[in-house]
Structure 1
């Protein structure tokens, strides 16, 4: 393995509670990562398990594929972020540490007493943090039954009793809810559809927001943020991640 590959692997390590996860490069086999796992556990006694994660997600639940490398064969843990605690199994719910900045930024914009709808809520970080930042009520919708279960556990962990977990398809369930001051749509693969639905359930009048995670394809030299803001008429945009050359996930704040 080249020194470049080794450096790239060390950059891909995340810690989720007491579990370390190594992003597996395309040109490296999981077995090649065992020495890295051994070093991680040697240097970090609190780490009890090490897993490898293949790039990309699949299925309606957007799950990554993980390979156990070393230590306890356990994928449930308590992950702490932005002053809250989240119990989750990263093999059963969508998880990305890349979103930690947005998990803080968007809830920090919530005004006291707001009604918030989180359309694709996962294990509940946007929902719970929005409530802890002052929301009066948060509807937290997800299709994945494991996400629903972990949200129930996490609202108890954080005493976030104003979060209302809803199991089902957000594109359908949202029509049964009251209008919201703020709607969070963290599903870039279906950005246009989510935007059209959210517009129908946001209060509007120039004082409400849709936080849309968009999948933006750009040409060489184009700024993904500008492209996203022009497409969805946003007032702020931020690149969340680069998916591949020319393709980005961008969050757009849209005042409605």
Structure 2
């Protein structure tokens, strides 16, 4: 074994060249290399897709909502054909491959809130999420505590996010899956008359698009998440 090999294995004087990886990462590498070997896609295809995913941001979803608030025709298109509406704000669910990806090209539904109805989205199985519109999902969205509890005690879980809804507001939880994704179209807040699309988009945060927050004048970032014990935590977590 050479000195370089010893360092890579952690036996030399230097730091290990490769950090310990998880079983999931080993599986991903094996599947990726096998797919490339079998000609399902090339290493260049994988690089382009990875770069595409990493640049996705929830700003696309924010623009989508702002446009729906201002343009009644676009709002109706968003409800009737969300994929077509996405193209009008520069989001093509067929990218970057030209035919979409198994994890992203799905049926998309826009959930319109009303003064008496509030939607919140979850994926109880894993972490299905409308990435072309919202970017990568936040860590808490993927946790068992959120996934298991939001469907059973939505009002209490939303309160843990700082969202307290009146009792006369119905809360409807929509469960995403591998072929069906959702995005919330929240109610436009008071005090925004005369605002431009850019101004409105600034107050539509990622959390508003998931349904764990409401748009508010002056709030342009996701609220900090203090760590505290969950009410009725999922067993074992």
> How does the TM-score come out when normalised to structure 1?
0.28
Structure (1 or 2) with the greater strand fraction = 1
Larger radius of gyration: 2
Structure (1 or 2) with the greater helix fraction = 2
> How does the TM-score come out when normalised to structure 2?
0.29
Q: Structure with the greater relative contact order (CA < 8 A, sep ≥ 6): 1 or 2? A: 2
